[in-house]
Amino acid sequence: MLTGEIRSKVNQVWDAFWSGGIANPLEVIEQITYLLFIRGLDEIQTREEEKASLLGRPIERVIFPDGVYREGRGGRDVTYAEMRWSRLKNADPTRMFTLVSDFVFPFLREMAEEGTAHAEHMKGARFTIPTPGLLTKVVDMLADLPMEDRDTKGDLYEYMLGKIASAGQNGQFRTPRHIIKLMVELTAPTPKDVICDPASGTCGFLVAAGEYLRAHHTNLFRDPELRSHFHNGLFHGYDFDQTMLRIGSMNMQLHGIEGADIRYRDSLASGHADDAEKYSLILANPPFAGSLDEETAAPDLRAIVKTKKTELLFMALFLKLLKPGGRAAVIVPDGVLFGSSTAHKAIRRILVDDHKLDAIVKLPSGVFKPYAGVSTAIVFFTKTNSGGSDHVWFYDVRADGLSLDDKRQMLVSEEKFGPISKATLTEEEHGMNNLPDLVARWKERNGAERKNRRTGQSFTVSRDEIAATDYDLSLSRYRQVTHEAAEHRPPKQIIAQLLALEVEIAAGLKELEAML
């Protein structure tokens, strides 16, 4: 997590951007990201130099070669060494501004890493910081960040993107990092997986999967084949927003993933012959809003489900991209679970009867605040082409560790936040953060969880019962209500659940108004 001091510095720089005439939040993030990337390049070469010195052999990867890059104004040569972050950050403001605008950014666009997604997206890099003074403020802030900590860089991105107060275009909005970590934890990526996010944005899911592999497969990088796969074949992301592609590509690079396949693609409009059944794991939170024109939607997706609705077309896309045995964890709006249209029922029937629907995890409506109050769930499934949905596990997340209003304030301590708690939660804290309990029960979904009564927070439902309800997948459809004496609950837990209920009611009213 970011310290208060770092947050304060980010806020100051953000205010300076605005007063300097850059009011687009994504442009601010993009410029800061470029500078983070420049620092990252220098640190990569420094590590390579130290490794070469230790082993007594030449540097394997040279980013900044010896010698002159190009001639500057007044005939003064600018060397590659001058463009390295370690030198750049100590230059006076005017010199720093000249170096970055006239030399560093052209160098980034011309980098000799051709053939990588990173190089492709950097060709369009633009330097738009207007003054030497603002550039110096930004560089000073970034110079103080502990960049050896990958989590800090991720938290920095998340904090900056959190400043975007409304949903993005076409229904896009940020996925909270603890929800991403939850989905990664439950799908448990392996070093031999081939992972895809077809709506990758800043590549949050792919970054989290990489961090999971580093933490759980510590010998991964000792195997040359697995190491090469990690850097060049494991991670794939598509998006149709060039700014997000650039930020996502740099995000992967800064998290130590060198050759990720991050590229432009309108996932719902283009054919998929080149990557059908290519991936073993899909992690995604695709855009929900809107419909496509019939002639715009890819024919191979409409062959799976005849619809114009983007959320259903994305479900068809996931099935198309997964190889047999491949698994997926994807966020969907609640309407996908209980919509009454022929297309809604068809996609649910396909998941239940033709493949293996593993679980439905209902999320509280406030989980995407302040971007949106939409009700959502995580759908977990495995592509089999032969069925296998014997039972489906349901879990009702009522609290995720943060308040469910626009402020999204942390309700538990940092060590007890997220899906993996570093300390035992009290009963009261469990009421404010259900995610560790979810992870524990997930491991028992095919065992002890089968015996749960449907009055609790989690339970299973048979395939036959789901089929008998027109494949309705909403948790409330199967929960049994009892009128037993109310259990004692701590006041904070009651308040948290009442706030969650208030948010859900408001979201439901908005959805009802939209339908009317």
- Tokens for 350, please give them: 């396909």
Give the count of beta carbons closer than 10 Å to the beta carbon of residue 465. 14
Mean pLDDT of the chain: 86
CA 498 to chain centre: 29
Predicted confidence at residue 141, as pLDDT, reads 83
Lowest-pLDDT choice from 30-39, 332-341, 364-373, 469-478? 364-373
Whether the CB-CB separation of 209 and 268 falls below 8 Å is answered with no
What pLDDT, on the 0 to 100 scale, is given for residue 148?
67
Number of Cβ within a 10 Å radius of residue 218: 9
pLDDT tens track for 389-440: 999 999 999 999 999 988 888 999 988 998 988 788 999 999 999 999 999 9
For residues 195 and 321, what is the distance between their CA atoms, to the nearest angstrom?
Answer: 10
Instruction: From residue 120, give the alpha-carbon distance in Å to each of 106, 203, 253.
Output: 14, 16, 13
What are the CA-CA distances from residue 455 to residues 50, 419, 481, 485 (Å)? 60, 23, 6, 13
Convert the pLDDT of each residue in 157-184 to its tens digit: 667 766 764 434 444 567 888 999 999 9
| Distance (Å, whole) CA 185 – CA 440 | 11
pLDDT tens digit string along 465-481?
A: 999 999 999 999 999 87
pLDDT band at 515 (very low <50, low <70, confident <90, very high): low
Lowest mean pLDDT among 26-30, 175-179, 380-384, 492-496: 492-496
Euclidean distance between CA atoms 122 and 115, whole angstroms: 12
pLDDT at 166: 42
Q: How many CB atoms lie within 10 A of CB 89?
A: 17
* Confidence class for position 514, pLDDT limits 50, 70, 90: low
- Number of other CB atoms surrounding residue 43 within 10 Å: 16
Q: What is the pLDDT of residue 279?
A: 98
pTM, full prediction = 0.82
Backbone angles phi, psi at 412, to 5 degrees: -125, 170
Cα separation values, 264 from 34, 208, 252, 288, 505, Å: 19, 21, 15, 19, 38
What confidence tier does 485 reach under pLDDT thresholds 50, 70, 90? very low
Nearest CA-CA partner of 332 in 356, 298, 359, 350: 359
Bigger pLDDT: 67 vs 259? 67
**DSSP 8-class letter at 353:** I
pLDDT at 27: 86
